[in-house]
Structure 1
Amino acid sequence: MLQFRGQMLAVEGELGKLRDRLKEHEGSTPTRKLDPQAVVPSRWANRHPASFSTAEFARLKQDIELAGGNVQPISVRVLIDQPGRYEIVFGHRRHRACSELGIPVLATIDTSAVSDHELFSAMDRENRERADLSPYEQGTMYRRALDEKLYPSNRRLAEALGVSHTWVANVLLVADLPAPVVECFRSPLEIQHRHAKSIASALETDRKGVLRRAEKLRAQERPKAAAAVVAALIGTANEAAETAHQPLEVDGRQVGRWSRDGAGRLMVQIEAAHLNDDRHLAVLKSIAAALKV
């Protein structure tokens, strides 16, 4: 009897130790190694395919391979209607690297009911803290959320995420560029806020002209620098190719100057001292007469 009692006391002691150890982990999120094939990208996934072919992604993949797996876990939520499957909250690149390497992905599993708003906010916060998402990808993520009515307006989206309205407007400006314009760049990941601002301004004043130049640019060898693409799209590349001003002389006297731009347009400037109302009309009539076929 005494022996049995002693055994019970020993068991109770072990149980007490286990309870204390469990308290240390109270509130923590379970972490497991998952089959990458059982994990699906979020519907708000914001990574452009080009981001998986960069030197930065190659280094990440190599680091994960050398470590035998991703040291920093990704975050996933349980798919209620698909037992045994999970949706990524954040960590799409780490998941992609493990999938390509054919190794399990370490993940923290949020078993609570994570709403779309909570998932979107967590993904956005993680990306901004890591500062590794391009303006195009960030803008595309915001545009998808707005189009699918996750947020009713730009302002509500900015307030929910704790970012400035200007930041939201800037990245949306990049994401909302017409597809023919985006395709002129080697990768949309290269497009910065300042590029989009210049192009958007040109689209407002001469949309047909910008889209026409975009079609020509896509048919040619693309410039290497994003700034060169912008210059070609908004027409400043042609302006840079403008010929030097040539003197305009009459009877040996310089009365003005002329030049031709990269598009072949002729520009004539005549000094005001050589123009009165009568001469002004005469010059216009002479030009009109010269242009008659």
Structure 2
Amino acid sequence: MLQFRGQMLAVEGELGKLRERLKEHEGSVPTRKLDPACIVPSRWANRHADSFGNADFLRLKQDIEVAGGNVQPIAVRPLPEQAGRYEIVFGHRRHRACSELGLPVLAMVETAPFTDHELFSAMDRENRERADLSPFEQGTMYRRALDAGLYPSNRRLAEALGVSHTWVANVLLVADLPPPVIECFRTPIEIQHRHAKLIASAFEVDRKGVLRRAEKLRLQGKRLAPAAVVEALIGRTEEPAAAKPTTLKVGGKSVGSWRRDGAGRVTVELAPGVVPEEKLEKLLEAIARSIEE
């Protein structure tokens, strides 16, 4: 715990220095308005496309439209060997809103050396402080950084960002779900840790079965709530396949059949005329006695 707190303090210190560097621009170069078309998203950009169409984004966009631009500046850094073009450090949603509204975006330009580690840490912290990313978006961001070699392991990533190892493992579990499973949900940003854990457990038992149910669910074209999707994927809504009918014989002659369904119900079907009306009551009594014994 003490080690983790120390890591948190170290991260806060680094981000504090970073913010101080950005504040220096507020005094010397009091931000500038840039053409959104000259700004590209960070390669660590973590917002899913659905995050730019939900209610939170629409409210942000409306606020920016009413104000005539973004009041809170975004942070960018110049792209090397591309004069007049920039990469977003943080502020992807504000940049997108201004772009869609046809407004210039207010930005602070970080000209001092700015490493990928600093950019990634700043973006991660900014997003967690402002509008929480969904587990899928957070996990996708972390997976991209790990695959690119920005951090050598989950543990080192967690330590560098000052977050718990469990948190990193949880969001990666969501991001690492197979595409056929993710496509079963209305949007990836509604998938929670608990959903991914249940699906991952089902994968360990019957991976092919989960993927088969995912394909069936997608073909149905239904847009279910997340909990219902999980239930369908792990097979809780399915009854085991019913057994085939078994021929019922008396004296070597077929008189009907019986079967047990997936829920354990037993059905007996007798051919017409096998049980005369006057014997039906005795047959039912015999069945009742057999059950009681």
Q: Distance in 1 between matches of 2:62 and 2:260?
A: 56
Alpha carbons 1:140, 1:175 under 8 Å: kept? yes
In structure 2, the residue matched to 1:39 is 39
1:117-156, CA deviations, whole angstroms, 9 ceiling, x for partnerless residues? Answer: 0000000001111242110000000000000100000000
Letter in 2 for 1:154: N
SS of equivalent residue, structure 2 residue 24: coil
1:195 deviation in Å? 0.3
Aligned pairs (5 A) from 1:1-293? 27-29=24-26, 30=29, 31-239=31-239, 260-261=261-262
Instruction: Determine what percentage of the aligned residue pairs are the same residue.
Output: 74
CA gap 1:107/1:66 in 2 versus in 1, 3 angstroms:
same
Q: Distance in 2 between matches of 1:26 and 1:56?
A: 27
1:184-222, CA deviations, whole angstroms, 9 ceiling, x for partnerless residues? Answer: 000001100000000001011100000000000000132
CA gap 1:99/1:82 in 2 versus in 1, 3 angstroms:
same
Alpha carbons 2:25, 2:109 under 8 Å: kept? no
Please report the TM-score for the alignment, with normalisation by the length of structure 2: 0.73
How many residue pairs align between the two structures? 226
SS of equivalent residue, structure 2 residue 107: strand
Letter in 2 for 1:220: Q
Q: Which has the higher contact order (CA 8 A, sep 6+)?
A: 2
4+ aligned runs moved over 2 Å, structure 1:
25-30, 221-224, 258-261, 265-268
Letter in 2 for 1:153: S
SS of equivalent residue, structure 1 residue 173: helix
Q: Distance in 2 between matches of 1:121 and 1:230?
A: 33
1:26 deviation in Å? 8.5
Alpha carbons 1:222, 1:229 under 8 Å: kept? no
Please report the TM-score for the alignment, with normalisation by the length of structure 1: 0.73
CA gap 1:26/1:143 in 2 versus in 1, 3 angstroms:
closer
Q: Distance in 2 between matches of 1:125 and 1:90?
A: 9
> RMSD of aligned C-alpha atoms?
2.2
SS of equivalent residue, structure 2 residue 238: helix
Which structure 2 segments of 5+ residues have no match?
1-21, 243-258, 267-293
SS of equivalent residue, structure 2 residue 114: coil
Letter in 2 for 1:199: I
1:28 deviation in Å? 3.8
Alpha carbons 1:186, 1:222 under 8 Å: kept? no
Q: Distance in 2 between matches of 1:35 and 1:28?
A: 19
SS of equivalent residue, structure 1 residue 238: coil
In structure 2, the residue matched to 1:15 is none
1:259 deviation in Å? 6.3
Q: Distance in 2 between matches of 1:75 and 1:149?
A: 24
1:54-80, CA deviations, whole angstroms, 9 ceiling, x for partnerless residues? Answer: 122111111100000001111111112
SS of equivalent residue, structure 1 residue 76: strand
The structure with the larger Rg is: 1
CA gap 1:120/1:72 in 2 versus in 1, 3 angstroms:
same
CA gap 1:45/1:181 in 2 versus in 1, 3 angstroms:
same
1:237 deviation in Å? 1.5
